[in-house]
Amino acid sequence: MSNPATPPAVGVLDERPPLTFPPGFLWGAATAAYQIEGAANEGGRTASIWDTFSHTEGRTVAGHTGDVACDHYHRLSDDVRLMAELGLKSYRFSVSWPRVQPGGSGPANAEGLDFYQRLVDELLANGIEPWLTLYHWDLPQELEDAGGWPARDTAARFADYALLMADALGDRVKYWTTLNEPWCSAFLGYGSGVHAPGRTDGADAVRAGHHLMLGHGLAVQALRTAVPQAQLGVTLNLYPVTPISDSPGDADAARRIDGLANRFFLDPILRGAYPDDLVADLAKVTDFDHVHEGDLAVISSPLDVVGINYYSRHVVAAPVPGEQPEAYWRDQACWPGSEDVRFVTRGVPVTDMGWEIDAPGLVETLRRVHEEYTDLPLYVTENGSAFVDEVVDGAVDDVDRLAYFDAHLRASHEAISAGVPLRGYFAWSLMDNFEWAWGYTKRFGMIYVDYDKQTRIPKSSARWYAEVIRRNGLAAE
Ligand code: IFM
């Protein structure tokens, strides 16, 4: 946990040089439907797996749910006005599948679509480019009841839903992301069970990961025809994985976790194949009989952009027989076939999530994706930090968050200088919101939300980010 008395974790801001980003760099902020919308039972919306999960005792901190969240559903215009005041060039939001297609199949729900049509129209009227994510974890409950992502048919349902959204918004939305962080959906949702739907089976997690990617590929193919002018992509949460020493055992631990965290998705999507070593590591868990002929060709359908969410680094060590790994990621995550790998904390500053602050890791991640996988334009589709915020005299001076953004923007700039075609950056998050199993206890926003009164207070980081956008870069002072 961070100590509020700790000085900014990443250095002294006023000793840093000014930096300018390339013209047209897309400055944005991101949110997700279940984390901000609320209105869980309005306008024809039905339950998602997150409604069921958060209403199940013991699943979220203090039983928090997304029923009301930031009430964005009713405050859309005010929230877009705040985005305009920040000078955002783009806003990345997700669509609640059960709001627009209740139950996850059949006809569209006009009232649900209307909400997103109004949102997109208001963004465009304010000169803000809408960036739409189709799936940010809120699977319609009926589809979970039919087997969820471990069931192959869910992929086909997802492509149908993508087409329904293309019909509604293809004329106005240029940037389409299929999935947000499929690793979380698969390995936290079906592996460790700390995310919805809360299932705990390593083989199901692997199957879910495959069907998520199959759904992504089918959706890309459908959207390519329906919205030929669209820029299509996927967003992966990637981590550099570093061995604690150069011993062969630690190096092998890093290879294994890199396989499950990163290459499980990067290789099928950008190379059309699962890595051999990953398949071998998973041999005790699954024989991959869920992978059908032709799947990998669908999964690797050509994209226009790749989105990367970056928060931290994993540092790992070889298993020690009989020793219980203790670090955060080991407890929360699920590493099928590699459960005994130890996650090591280095004692460097952490955010309120306990995640180590490691801006150089962003440079490494961006360079790796570009140098090893693709020449496509890259976007940081999420980056940010939770810290404990205090309202003092109606203001929130979030110096730690501001310093985190500063360091990671400098890292983004360094990656660009090294040749990475990074075209934009989205701060996570526009506003405080429902942080999944942590409920409302973790604040990631640039805008403070008082959940009782539903008021918003732009924090220091928001004012600073507005200035970054205005200058297209970072000031010296
Ligand atoms: O809040 C989440 C978001 O939904 C997905 N990426 C990570 C964020 C912080 O945990």
- Residue 356's pLDDT is 96
Candidate of 239, 444, 449 to mutate for ligand 1, largest count of ligand atoms within 8 Å of Cβ = 444
pTM to 2 decimal places: 0.96
Residue with CA at minimum distance from ligand 1 atom 2: 435
- Which residue of the set 144, 364, 382, 435 is catalytic? 382
Find where tokens 């890259």 sit: 378
Domain-embedded: residue 474: no
Distance 248 CA to ligand 1 centre (A): 33
Q: Decide if pLDDT at 462 tops 80.
A: yes
Domain-embedded: residue 414: yes
Distance 332 CA to ligand 1 centre (A): 14
pLDDT tens sequence across 40-56: 999 999 999 999 999 99
Residue 309 alpha carbon, nearest atom of ligand 1: 6
- Which residue of the set 122, 181, 356, 364 is catalytic? 181
- Residue 8's pLDDT is 38
Domain-embedded: residue 108: yes
pLDDT-based confidence at residue 3 (cuts at 50, 70, 90) = very low
Instruction: Evaluate: CB of 79 within 6 angstroms of ligand 1.
Output: no
pLDDT tens sequence across 219-265: 999 999 999 999 999 999 999 999 999 999 999 999 999 999 999 99
How many domains would you assign to the chain? 1
Domain-embedded: residue 389: yes
Is 15 among the residues known to form the active site?
A: no
Three-state secondary structure string covering 115-156: HHHHHHHHHHHCCCEEEEEEECCCCEHHHHHCCCCCCCHHHH
Question: Is the Cα dihedral 248, 253, 254, 256 positive or negative?
Answer: positive
Distance 218 CA to ligand 1 centre (A): 25
Strand, helix or coil for residue 189: helix
Q: Decide if pLDDT at 9 tops 50.
A: no
Helix (H) or strand (E) holding 378: strand 378-383
Domain of 299 in residue numbering reads as 18-469
Span 133-145, mean pLDDT?
Answer: 99
Span 24-31, mean pLDDT?
Answer: 99
pLDDT tens sequence across 85-108: 999 999 999 999 999 999 999 999
Please give the C-alpha separations between residue 36 and each of 59, 67, 187, 378, 437, in angstroms, as whole numbers. Answer: 19, 9, 23, 26, 14
By CB atoms closer than 10 A (0-12, 13-18, 19+), residue 334 is: buried
Domain-embedded: residue 475: no
Helix (H) or strand (E) holding 381: strand 378-383
Domain-embedded: residue 9: no
Backbone phi, psi, residue 316, to 5°: -130, 165
pLDDT tens sequence across 52-90: 999 999 999 999 999 999 999 999 999 999 999 999 999
Is 339 among the residues known to form the active site?
A: no
Please give the C-alpha separations between residue 222 and each of 157, 165, 341, 408, in angstroms, as whole numbers. Answer: 12, 11, 40, 35
pLDDT-based confidence at residue 421 (cuts at 50, 70, 90) = very high
Which tokens is 121 given?
A: 């129209």
pLDDT tens sequence across 282-309: 999 999 999 999 999 999 999 999 999 9
Per-residue exposure over 407-419, b if at least 16 CB sit within 10 Å of its own CB, e if not: bbbbbbbbbbeee
Residue with CA at minimum distance from ligand 1 atom 4: 32
Mean pLDDT of the chain: 95
Q: Decide if pLDDT at 117 tops 70.
A: yes
Residues with Cβ within 8 Å of residue 124, at least 6 apart in sequence: 130, 172
pLDDT-based confidence at residue 15 (cuts at 50, 70, 90) = low
Candidate of 31, 37, 181 to mutate for ligand 1, largest count of ligand atoms within 8 Å of Cβ = 181
- Residue 7's pLDDT is 33
Residue 384 alpha carbon, nearest atom of ligand 1: 9
Domain-embedded: residue 422: yes
Candidate of 429, 434, 449 to mutate for ligand 1, largest count of ligand atoms within 8 Å of Cβ = 429
Residue with CA at minimum distance from ligand 1 atom 10: 435
| CATH code (residue 278) | 3.20.20.80
Please, are residues 209 and 182 in contact by the beta-carbon 8 Å criterion?
A: yes
Domain-embedded: residue 6: no
